[in-house]
Structure 1
């Protein structure tokens, strides 16, 4: 029986960002779940993902994009049916590291200057990417027309989540991991991706020339090849 592929989107996206990947997985006979990431905070969101994992029978391959990597790193720890982790343009933190720490570890991220803050009634702040720069910042290797739609449907993340330290023992220390990212990622510098993949002992690292932060949308087939490898 094939493992269930659990897909966890990141900030400024939503579950439909996995559509191309999902179509290929289903055609291959893999069961799949695209989790609706709450984007409220690392611990809260990781606990939500862990609860979702508890509802799935059989083996699981966890796939995280961007901030979703923070969650798979925490939710998989101590969950015996999670057999492998796939990081897709994603953060792979060690305990105590935040997304902001890892994005700023090497030069190259221009995300901060593109963000539009929205103050919430409880005093917290939601962050969106400004629609007029979304294509360039987030999805330069996809069409402007597609990126314009994603800019409208993007889901915000709390400002606090980006600065929240990863609370638990990193799952990549005990669970095999694979990495895929683009070398033109403007959210997480490519040097940060390389550092995280090497530190995690990545079984295979795929670096795609010209790839944006959302490289797995136009390169869905490359990601599914890596997922197949992780599933095996």
Structure 2
């Protein structure tokens, strides 16, 4: 009997939730690949990576970590565990150790995302006020989900989860891609994370890379089969 494939752990990014993986999960389950989509707290890189690492530590056997958008930074830090055998970056940030998302993004021309953010205030565990950001509903479709149906984009806009401001400035404490095989999908028409940022990070990590022309940041929703195909490639290679 062949060994069981690695468990795929899906990590969403900011301005969405785990439901962004629905189509991808369906594709993976059709191929009998064990999969788990975690709820990323979106409260800062160290905290979020610790949450994902805790989930990984409770899974029996090898794991392939998949990160979308900011989730790419999270798996970069969380993916140093021995049982993580592969990393898959989907329209994602791929930071170096000691690098923040802002520093990585500032290497290239800015995306429309920055001008489309609305600040909110939330209360931290210690009782202090902190800032988080969401995408304004009127800008959400154009910035995040341009190739998704208007009705679905409206649902995504009102169900999005804000991302803490510290997530943009906190530096990555590790770069798991230095010791773990990686794959990357570049969304060619991304207006939330610049495709140049995605390409640069993937190339620096030596990732096996595919690019989807015309794909928006919501590529997990608009192109779930293509995303799942890349994940399946990583599972085959590491299993």
TM norm structure 1? 0.96
- Does the CA-based 8 Å contact 1:42-1:70 persist in structure 2? yes
Q: Does 1:184 align with 2:189?
A: yes
Task: Identify which of 198, 201, 212 aligns with 1:196.
Answer: 201
Aligned to 2:26: 23
Equivalences for residues 166-177 of structure 1 within 5 A = 166-168=172-174, 170-177=175-182
Q: Does 1:88 align with 2:90?
A: yes
Superposed displacement of residue 39, structure 1: 0.3
- SS of equivalent to 2:147: coil
User: Runs of 5+ in structure 2 lacking a partner?
Assistant: none
Superposed displacement of residue 193, structure 1: 1.2
Aligned to 2:156: 150
Superposed displacement of residue 103, structure 1: 2.0
Matched residues, number: 229
Aligned to 1:130: 136
Task: Identify which of 32, 35, 52 aligns with 1:49.
Answer: 52
Aligned to 1:5: 8
Superposed displacement of residue 60, structure 1: 0.8
C-alpha root-mean-square deviation of aligned residues, in Å? 1.0
Superposed displacement of residue 104, structure 1: 2.2
TM norm structure 2? 0.93
- Does the CA-based 8 Å contact 1:125-1:159 persist in structure 2? yes
- The runs of at least 4 consecutive aligned structure 1 residues that moved more than 4 Å come to none
- SS of equivalent to 1:52: helix
Superposed displacement of residue 65, structure 1: 0.3
- Does the CA-based 8 Å contact 1:181-1:193 persist in structure 2? yes
Superposed displacement of residue 187, structure 1: 1.6
Task: Identify which of 210, 213, 222 aligns with 1:209.
Answer: 213
Q: Does 1:218 align with 2:227?
A: no
- SS of equivalent to 2:88: strand
Task: Identify which of 55, 58, 66 aligns with 2:61.
Answer: 58
User: Runs of 5+ in structure 1 lacking a partner?
Assistant: none
Superposed displacement of residue 160, structure 1: 1.3
- Does the CA-based 8 Å contact 1:181-1:213 persist in structure 2? no
> Can you list the C-alpha shifts for 1:133-179, whole angstroms capped at 9, x where unaligned?
100000101111101001000001111111111122x1000000000
Structure 2 CA distance for aligned equivalents of residues 29 and 166 of structure 1 = 33
Q: Does 1:229 align with 2:233?
A: yes
